Amino acid sequence: MLTLGILGSGSGSNMQAILDAINGGHLEARIALVLSDKPDALILQRAAKNGIPHAVIECAGHRNKFPQTTQQETATKLKQAGVDLVCLAGFMRLVKAPLLDAFPSRILNIHPSLLPAFPGVAAWEQAVNAKAKETGVTVHIVDSGMDTGPIVLQEAMKVNAGETADQLHARLQIVEHRIYPLAIGQYGSTIDL
Ligand code: GRF
């Protein structure tokens, strides 16, 4: 069975959606490990509540950097847990070698825009500020760039007139929660286990 490792820095609503899809019989997979760079992140509490092994990624006091040694340790933890596919779900640090090399084309990310438009933080705010008529959600394979890499699944959504960034984000998250499990299932079925 497809074994997932999930990395997140925030509320973990996408992790929850993946878990719900598994428990609901819509995604044939298991979550073996949840890791977060934020010790107090809700994603870790959700993992604990659901009996999923979880741990903190210690970034040696760096606010945004994901140090090489920490990436190596993260790769080791994921390998030891038997992870086939790593899913970034609101993980706020850039993944580079050696983690990328340990999981070549085996790391997915979800991003709340129609990439390549609006990469980076607060994509929903970027869309509202740019007065975009349309935005969406993208699931892509992670490469060494920021929100680049081959697209697995994308869904477009209209931006409503007068919509605030928060309102747009809330609507985007509903799409995220639906398409991330779908994309994991689709992409996961192409992986040799
Ligand atoms: C999501 O909107 C994701 O696309 C973005 O960060 C947010 C994480 O939300 N990169 P959650 O932690 O899954 O609730």
How confident is the model over 124-171, as pLDDT tens digits? 999 999 999 999 999 999 999 999 999 999 999 999 999 999 999 999
Tokens representing 49?
Answer: 């509540």
| Structural Rg of the chain based on CA atoms | 16
**Cα-Cα end-to-end distance for the chain:** 8
112 ligand 1 Cβ < 6 A: yes
Helix (H, G, I), strand (E, B) or coil at 33: strand
Is residue 136 within 6 Å of ligand 1 at its C-beta?
Answer: no
Domain with 76 in it: 2-188
Decide if 179 is inside a domain. yes
Examine residue 59 and state whether it is found in any structural domain, yes or no.
Answer: yes
Contacts of 192 (CB under 8 A, 6+ apart): none
Tally of residues, the chain: 193
Q: Is the preceding peptide bond at 150 cis, omega within 30 degrees of 0? A: no
Atom index in ligand 1 nearest the CA of residue 89 equals 13
- CA–centroid distance, 10 to ligand 1, in Å, is 7
Task: Tell me whether residue 51 is in a domain.
Answer: yes
Ligand 1 centroid – CA 71 distance (Å): 21
| CATH classification of the domain holding 23 | 3.40.50.170
Residues in the chain predicted with pLDDT less than 70, given as ranges, are none
**DSSP letter (8 states) at residue 89:** S
Mutation pick for ligand 1 pocket among 176, 178, 179 (CB with most ligand atoms within 8 Å): 176
- Domain count for the chain: 1
Residue 193 falls inside a structural domain: no
| Inside any domain, residue 120 | yes
CA of 13 to the centre of ligand 1 (A): 7
Specify the ligand 1 atom closest to the Cα of 9: 12
**CB of 95 closer than 8 Å to CB of 71:** yes
Kindly give the distance from the C-alpha atom of residue 83 to the centroid of ligand 1, in angstroms, as a whole number: 21
Supply the pLDDT for residue 110: 98
Scan for tokens 């869309």, then name that residue: 127
- Check: CB of residue 109 under 8 Å from CB of residue 139: yes
